[in-house]
């Protein structure tokens, strides 16, 4: 998990605000750390429409020798927003600076980053919906006019200075498109949502990663990992590493269906890919709220979890597989969920 965290892999002494990442670091490809991320759109599996739209935009910009339009990606965690940003930088042949909404507290934090960008460089802002309002307003002229006005001092001493910026490309990533203000959203030229991946695509991703990790896996094993990965490549790769450990220590090193089932039972991942937190979430609605409807804050209080985690991480997949519905009066679970848990369905609950 967390291999899309912009702060991950940060060298000592680097700013906590931004991580300057140049081209792929050869040290990343050692046996200790093998990047499972695709490095080009050709290698990228799934999200066919998004990949096609991006490849057209990249080719056109390269032909015209221009920078790309600003790009916004919207998707639940682990679906490839950061990976695509890295690929775009690679294919455009530019550098990318990575930061995130909560890391930027004031305009000055952004100023330092913006003034270091070169022509065509990418600024990647993860969790852009969590950008403080003052920083967001600072970003508007930067995105539109490639200039920022910075005000020094206060009151009668206030002085303003206009900084000209290189034509950079902002790539924003968000799990909550709805929380982005309209003025910010309107400044992006390319807006794309990534969907959960099909089982077939997850199988291909699992097989590709197994080759990179140099582990033998049969097709049934790949399908079992795919089925339990909540439609999410990052989870495929995480589970694959756990199953590889299990196969190595408890088996003959080869990943088969049985190995996956045994290894993932230990991880608390069930046949549908639901995790401990997914099950706690669904059980809380059943046990404390008779299946719903119930507000998200009440569920969060019951579980002592952040409601943001539930909304961003837990709910999207449960909604996708129909275990959960969201109504105007709150969250409700479905008949399917009761069946999954082998629970009796109360008369009149769903009719």
Catalytic residues: 81-82, 126, 175, 234
Rounded to a whole number of angstroms, the minimum distance from the CB of residue 215 to ligand ADE is: 15
The reply on whether position 138 binds ligand ADE by CB under 6 A is no
The alpha-helical segments, DSSP class H, found in 4-157 are 48-64, 81-92, 107-114, 133-145
Rounded to a whole number of angstroms, the minimum distance from the CB of residue 180 to ligand ADE is: 24
Longest dimension (CA), the chain: 76
Interface of this chain with ligand ADE, residues 199 to 228, rule: CB under 6 A: 205, 208
Cα distance between residue 301 and residue 298, in whole Å? 5
Per-residue x/- mask for ligand ADE, residues 51 to 90, rule CB under 6 A?
A: -----------------------------x--x-------
Between 36 and 103, CB nearer to ligand ADE: 36
Between 43 and 144, CB nearer to ligand ADE: 43
Between 67 and 84, CB nearer to ligand ADE: 84
Query: What are the structure tokens assigned to 176, written together?
Result: 């909550």
**Number of chain residues interacting with ligand ADE (CB under 6 A):** 12
Interface of this chain with ligand ADE, residues 24 to 53, rule: CB under 6 A: 36-38, 43-46
Cα distance between residue 221 and residue 224, in whole Å? 5
Between 138 and 197, CB nearer to ligand ADE: 197
Determine the 3-state secondary structure of 93 from DSSP: coil
Strands, sheet with 190-193, edge to edge from the N-terminal-most edge strand:
19-21, 96-100, 122-126, 169-174, 71-74, 190-193
Cα distance between residue 246 and residue 252, in whole Å? 9
Q: What angle do CA 315, 321, 322 make, to 5 degrees?
A: 85
**Interacting residues toward ligand ADE by CB under 6 A:** 36-38, 43-46, 80, 83, 205, 208, 233
């Amino acid at each position: 998990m967390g291999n899309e965290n912009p702060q991950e892999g940060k060298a000592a002494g680097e700013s906590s605000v931004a991580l300057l990442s140049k081209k792929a670091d050869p040290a990343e490809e050692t046996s200790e750390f093998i990047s499972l991320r695709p490095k080009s759109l050709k290698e990228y599996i799934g999200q066919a429409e998004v990949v096609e739209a991006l490849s057209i935009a990249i080719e056109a910009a390269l032909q015209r020798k221009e920078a790309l339009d600003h790009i916004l990606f919207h998707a639940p965690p682990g679906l490839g927003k950061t990976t695509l940003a890295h690929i775009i930088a690679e294919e455009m042949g530019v550098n990318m600076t990575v930061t995130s909404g909560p890391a930027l507290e004031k305009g000055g934090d952004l100023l330092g980053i913006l003034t270091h960008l070169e022509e065509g460089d990418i600024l990647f802002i993860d969790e852009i919906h969590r950008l403080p309002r003052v920083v967001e307003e600072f970003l508007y002229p930067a995105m539109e006019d490639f200039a920022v006005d910075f005000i020094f001092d206060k009151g009668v001493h206030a002085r303003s200075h206009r900084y000209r910026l290189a034509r950079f490309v902002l790539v924003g990533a968000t799990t909550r498109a709805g929380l982005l203000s309209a003025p910010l959203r309107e400044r992006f030229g390319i807006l794309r949502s990534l969907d959960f991946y099909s089982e077939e695509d997850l199988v291909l991703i699992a097989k590709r990663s197994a080759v990179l990790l140099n582990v033998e896996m049969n097709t049934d094993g790949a399908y079992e990992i795919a089925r339990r990965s909540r439609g999410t490549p990052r989870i495929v790769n995480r589970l694959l590493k756990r199953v590889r450990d299990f196969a190595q220590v408890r088996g003959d090193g080869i990943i088969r269906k049985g190995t996956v089932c045994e290894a993932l039972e230990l991880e608390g991942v069930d046949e549908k890919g639901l995790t401990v937190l997914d099950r706690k979430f669904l059980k809380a609605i059943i046990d404390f709220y008779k299946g719903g409807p119930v507000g998200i804050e009440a569920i969060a209080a019951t579980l002592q979890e952040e409601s943001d985690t539930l909304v961003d991480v837990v709910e999207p997949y449960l909604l996708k597989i129909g275990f959960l519905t969201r109504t105007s009066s709150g969250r409700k679970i479905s008949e399917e969920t009761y069946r999954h848990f082998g629970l009796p369905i109360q008369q009149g609950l769903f009719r």
